[in-house]
Amino acid sequence: MIRTQIQLEPSQVTRLKRLSAREGISMAEAIRRCIDFQLADDTNTETCWASASELVGAFKDRRGARDLSRKHDDYLEDAFE
C-alpha cells in the first residue's frame, strides 16, 4: 500500500468514526472503501452510457421506424398534429 495524507472536515471525521465503529473496520479501511465505491460508480456510469448508446436504433417502434433516435423531432411533431 502507498501511504498518503489527507485533510478532512471535522464532520467527515465524525461520520468516518461512526462508520468504522459500526462496520468494525479502521478509518483507513473506511476511506479506502469510500474511494472504491466512488471510483466504481464512475466506471459503472461510463459502462451504462456505452451500453445504452449501442441500443440506439436497434429496435423498431410500433410503426416499424428504425430511425427514431435521429428523427425523433419529426415523429414528435407528427404525433401532435
Q: For residue 57, is it within any domain?
A: yes
In total, the chain counts a number of residues equal to 81
Domain count for the chain, please give it.
Answer: 1
47 within domain boundaries: yes
Its domain, for residue 18, covers 10-80
Average pLDDT, the chain: 82
Residue 2 covered by a domain:
no
pLDDT band at residue 61, thresholds of 50, 70 and 90?
Answer: low
Alpha carbon distance 37, 26 (integer Å): 17
**pLDDT tens-digit series, residues 34-52:** 998 888 766 667 777 777 7
3: helix, strand or coil: coil
Which of 58, 78, 77 has the alpha carbon at shortest distance from 69?
Answer: 58
Does pTM top 0.75 for this prediction? no
SS3 58: coil
Does residue 32 have a pLDDT over 80?
A: yes
